[in-house]
Structure 1
Amino acid sequence: DGCISLARTISAGRSSYRICGEASTMADLRAIGEHLADIHGQHEHQSLIHERSHRRFLDAFGGQEHLALLGRFAETWRELSEAIRRREKLATDERTRAQRLDLLRYQVQELDDAGLSPDEDEELAAERARLMHYEKLREGLLAAWDALRGDESGGAVEQLRVAQDNADELAKIDTKLEAAAGLLLDAVSQAEDAARLIRAYLEAMEEDPERINEVEAPEPHCRPEAQVRRHGARDA
């Protein structure tokens, strides 16, 4: 019915408080009471004592036009506060971005100075395998070279050439052998190419025990995987 009842009961030296019949506290009772009534005595109104009430009284005295202006001011203040907050956030983001760019430039420079290639890990692994199996590679390639070239009559290249010459002659008698002659010609060419590659590889081979040690145990901070982990390049 629009009524609010406030009650305080003192019994045996103890006080209890109720608001509309519900148990409450003295602080709640005082807070509500200040907005419902003033206590008059030999001094001024009690609500005037509280500084937090002064501005409310002044605003109410200004009337509806003043209250409307006050509402617009409050909204403008909120918008200004939000704009200031956004500006500060943008400034913070810009500083963070600049710091991030500086860090990335430093990391890129370190990677450039390290002279790493995109396939550095794979290249080192391949070089390590070649150096560690030098003798096995050399012996196997020499055997392959002998099988392909051998002496002037015993190598696979010469045997293929003889077969190809014979097929050419026979194809003149029966054209059905032209396909076989062509295949043998290709085989001779491929065998010669293989022999040249093997020979070049053998001539370029060089045993280097010191390089084996370098590849096997580089300085920890110089290892490609260490540089990559340090700068997070794998995730990038």
Structure 2
Amino acid sequence: MGALPERRPGVASPVVPVHVGIIMDGNGRWAAGRGLPRAMGHRAGAEATRRVIEAAAEAGVRWLTLFAFSSENWRRPASEVLELTGLLRHYLRHEVSQLVRDGVRLRVVGDRERFGVETAAEIERAERLTADGQRLNLNIALSYGARAEIAAAARAIAREAAAGRLDAASVDEALVERHLATRDMPDPDLIIRTSGEQRLSNFLLWQSAYAELVFTDVLWPDFDARHFTAALSEFARRERRYGGACVV
């Protein structure tokens, strides 16, 4: 990943979402359309990830969450899972130094332990080394499922109630949010999904209650700064009402 470009001073910006989530879809179809193995699609998708991180930082987005590997992806063929986890380890080992230079803080959301001791240690190392980054908060959702996240929060709250540490009547939305994996992050303002599919696929279901949704037919390996900017422009045209008056 190359160095992130500096924002140009003195240039007026449109309404920019604070937090963007992206469901990165279409690697397999991109490869199939070119007669290539799926692994080549995932590698091309990794290049698209680099481009979008740069585009997000350039646009002034403060939080970027990428849905890289869902809890359901473990059902894929073992060879494909092996390729994906290998790409993850390569990224963690070889890209972190650039993230540090670019002021990007990396965090992983999901069941990291399922990837094994070696990969979990690489994740912890990357998070530690990038902890001081202040330009962009980059969250990677790995072995993540929103329903499982909400269920885990419910179990934690139930344990506290059973232990007498809280009154069940005090459980509200704020309490649930404090038990989610994203508890110290703002909710996403914008969710982008590539490849033409128009669903959330168990991604940030609680957090996306009022997010704007943008769907594009572009396959993830072809997604670049132009497409990201187009999604931000679409977001800027939306009127965000939150069930009430328009929020400008």
TM-score, normalised via structure 2 length = 0.21
TM-score, normalised via structure 1 length = 0.22
Greater fraction of residues in strand? 2
Greater fraction of residues in helix? 1
Asked which structure has the greater CA Rg, the reply is 1
